[in-house]
Amino acid sequence: MSMKDTFLELSPEHGGLRFGPFKGLEIRLGSLPDPQNDITLPEELGILPEHVKIISQGDGSFVVAPVERSASVFIWRSGGNPKQIVTPVAIQSADDVFSADAFSVGSVEGPKFFVLQIQKAKPKAAENDPFKKAKGRLSSKSMIAEIKRQGMTGFVTTKGGAWFQYWWTFIRTGTIFQPRYIIMGFLILSGYLATGGMGLLSCKFKADQWQADAKIASAEESLQLCRGGAKSNERTFVTEAARIMGGSPTDPTSQEQRTLWLNTLSWNPTFRKAFQKHFMNIYTSPNEYSVYYNTRKSDNPVAKFRKGLNSAGMDSRLSRTLAFMAATDQNASKTEFSIGQDSKGDEACLRGPLRMTWRQAFNLKMNSDLLPADAVATSTDIKELIDNKEEGCKVLRTRVNTLNGINPGGFAESCEAEDLMRQYAGLNNKECLLTPGPDSRSVAKMDDQGQPTDAQDWKALAVSTYKQMKGGKFPAQRANQDALARLLWFYMADAINSTKFFNTLGSHFERNAQKTGSGFENVLEKVEGIEGTAPWAIDKAARVVAMSVAVPCMAVKIARVDKGVKVDELAENMGIKEEELPNWLDCVTALALAEADE
């Protein structure tokens, strides 16, 4: 009779560790240690003390039996979608993970095991004598090693021994030097040293925050155990970020998407570092960015922009990332103008929810007619500039002159024929002076006098933006660097102050569209006339991609901490499907690896 060994093997995304072989007819999994369970899993993953049993039927099939109805167990038929079970269900084994059925515990994203039965290797004739084999293993070293092993086993299974083992591992692996633990220790110590009730209250609040983060770190470490022990050199912040961006594991294209994002995120060291920096800053600043998952989709700039991009024909995977171009500041969907720095470091009026500069929109040809110009002016000067049209147009012409390749004289003539307008931008008593007229940067509908109203049209902005991201100059949608190439094009439009050189950039994009990352690196760093402009555009693009990862990660974290928050509602607020949300543990892993690599 053919003899086979039974193994349980974790899925590749959980590390691929193989457990076994198991000799009995029953395999038990839970949070309690041996002898209660054959495989011990972390309680933080939602694992019960005794969670599930895998019972052999002797014919290659097995029964997956939740120990109780509250034990979350999902079965994965070969090639099928997961299904939650509450009663025993039969599954089929195989000799590889591509053919075998699987089950996950704790949640659909929890540890996923394939049930394997593998033919036993035939023993060599020389090895058939058990006495000789046992005698060969007997030595003074093996005797001492066994005494040490049994003594250590007896020690670490005591409460004191387990405590010592935990803290020794905590120190030996360098975990103690992670910034979160150093800061947590400092905060707790400073709380005891502080005088006065407010000092103690403030420290208590901060300590509670860091205690929550410490629990998250503990869960992340437990996840690493599930995935096969210590972190591998192959596991980096970039690989974890690509895992998050790949979408739901139930999506048949998720592995392809992860590979595409891994190639994109690894494209350029400058981009990777900027992406990592922005991810950490965003993910650790929930108060500043919670508006993007707490605001209902009817008022949420990310949701409204994605809806417009989808209706314009953009691929859903691409719009999932590029929608966060609208996550510029908390008032982006409410205020028409903001004042900020452009690519040259100059103060500029930023218009519309994408906060575009005049130069950027003009290079991208967002308007069919001459784009309404704008310039920053103080509130004390702006009334005089509006009343004195000639002086006002000189100020605006100065702004127009930052872009070479247009006729400023023709602009001045057009400017003086119009009534100038003012828009309060809410920064240090500064306002925006502008000429009236429709502007593709804006979502505000205009009245008969060319003044913006409260009514909005997001579809027009999305269509206009998507129009600039179509054509042969870009990689095909769902190809390497598809999102990044479009973002770089969008932001390079402000970084280049010459229409001639922007057209040159377009021709180089065209030639490099189907190349790998090195092709776009050549475009941005070696094309004559645009040297030194790439870092600003790369940083802006990196922030958008980081927002698309960090904000959904914050949403699933909040839903996990606050049981009154429904994760499906947060997903809907952002205009994404619940299955497009990342796995919370993957987010924690990414943050831990980003901090370790800092």
Bigger pLDDT: 319 vs 154: 319
pLDDT band at residue 519 under the 50/70/90 scheme: low
CA–CA gap between residue 376 and residue 371 (Å, rounded): 16
Neighbouring residues of 515: CB distance < 8 A, sequence distance ≥ 6: none
Neighbouring residues of 16: CB distance < 8 A, sequence distance ≥ 6: 9, 10, 228
Range list of H helices, 527-579: 534-561, 567-574
> Could you tell me the end-to-end alpha-carbon distance of the chain, in angstroms, rounded to an integer?
57
Q: Is residue 455 classed as helix, strand or coil in its secondary structure? A: strand
Buried b (16+ CB within 10 A) or exposed e, 527-544: beebeebbebbbbbbbbb
pLDDT at 451: 65
Token pair for 519? 């092709």
pLDDT one-digit tens code per residue, 207-251 = 344 344 444 444 444 444 444 333 444 678 888 888 888 776 566
Please check whether residue 202 is in contact with residue 192, taking contact to mean a CB–CB distance below 8 angstroms.
no
pLDDT band at residue 107 under the 50/70/90 scheme: confident
Neighbouring residues of 451: CB distance < 8 A, sequence distance ≥ 6: 421, 436
Token pair for 545? 């991609």
DSSP 475: P
pTM (two decimals): 0.63
DSSP 325: G
- pLDDT (mean) for 359-369: 83
Written as one string, the DSSP assignment of 124-138 is PGGG--HHHHHHHH-
**Per-domain residue ranges for the chain?**
4-121, 139-171, 173-230, 238-327+466-596, 337-442
Token pair for 569? 């509602």
Report how far apart, in Å, the C-alpha atoms of 410 and of each of 380, 406, 415, 417 are: 28, 9, 9, 11
pLDDT one-digit tens code per residue, 501-518 = 888 788 777 776 655 444
Q: Specify the range with the lowest mean pLDDT, choosing from 19-33, 287-301, 395-409, 486-500.
A: 395-409
- pLDDT (mean) for 576-594: 84
Range list of H helices, 401-481: 408-416, 458-468
Over 60: is that where the pLDDT of 310 sits?
yes
Range list of H helices, 227-333: 237-245, 254-265, 269-283, 286-289, 291-294, 301-312, 316-322
Q: Give the rounded percent of residues in the chain with a pLDDT score beyond 90.
A: 17
pLDDT band at residue 332 under the 50/70/90 scheme: low
Please check whether residue 74 is in contact with residue 101, taking contact to mean a CB–CB distance below 8 angstroms.
no
pLDDT at 208: 43
CATH 3.40.640.10 for domain 4-121, yes or no, is no
The partner residues of 56 in beta bridges, in order of sequence, read: 62
pLDDT at 60: 81
- pLDDT (mean) for 180-202: 40
CA–CA gap between residue 370 and residue 508 (Å, rounded): 26
| Amino acid letter, residue 108 | V
Token pair for 137? 């293993």
pLDDT one-digit tens code per residue, 525-535 = 566 566 667 78
β-pair type (39-40, 26-30): parallel
CA–CA gap between residue 192 and residue 205 (Å, rounded): 13
Helix or strand holding residue 454 (H, E): strand 452-456
Q: Specify the range with the lowest mean pLDDT, choosing from 42-56, 135-149, 470-484.
A: 135-149
Rg of the chain over Cα atoms, rounded to whole angstroms, equals: 30
pLDDT at 270: 83
Count of Cβ atoms closer than 10 Å to residue 479 Cβ: 14
Over 70: is that where the pLDDT of 344 sits?
yes
Among candidate residues 363, 359, 387, 383, the one with its CA nearest the CA of residue 373: 359
pLDDT band at residue 58 under the 50/70/90 scheme: confident
Over 90: is that where the pLDDT of 399 sits?
no
Strand (E) positions, 93-155? Answer: 102-105, 112-119
pLDDT band at residue 202 under the 50/70/90 scheme: very low
pLDDT band at residue 478 under the 50/70/90 scheme: confident
Helix or strand holding residue 208 (H, E): helix 197-226
